[in-house]
Amino acid sequence: MILRQFLLPAENRMRINPKYVNLTFATLMSCVMSLIMTCFITALNTGLDTDFVMRWAMAWSVAWPVAFFCNFLLAARLRRWVASRAMAADAA
């Protein structure tokens, strides 16, 4: 179902209410980043064995809420900070 949404023409895709764009972005970004980071760090620190998935799930269950709140609280501020220091396209 979700994959089908990406294959549909733009006018038929599910739309996100603009009110929830920041929340949706923070949720998806923190989920993906924490999954990737905890997988890599867990594998690096403990190796890939039969208990890897359980250790990874435990690490992710702790990391995701932290990543979500950091992303939700800091993303807009950091975006504004970077934008205030960005050069104009014609000045580059």
The H-or-E segment that residue 80 falls in is helix 52-85
At residue 18 the predicted structure's pLDDT band, cuts being 50, 70 and 90, is confident
Reported residue count of the chain is 92
Residue 17: the pLDDT is 84
For the chain, the average pLDDT equals: 85
The H-or-E segment that residue 57 falls in is helix 52-85
Of the candidates 62, 68, 65, the one whose C-alpha atom is nearest the C-alpha of residue 30 is 68
Residue extents of the structural domains in the chain:
24-81
Given the structure tokens 């990406």, which residue do they identify? 6
User: What is the per-residue pLDDT across 39-65, written as a single tens digit (0 to 9) for each?
Assistant: 999 999 999 999 999 999 999 999 999
CA-to-CA distance for 44 and 68, rounded, in angstroms? Answer: 23
pLDDT at 92 over 70: no
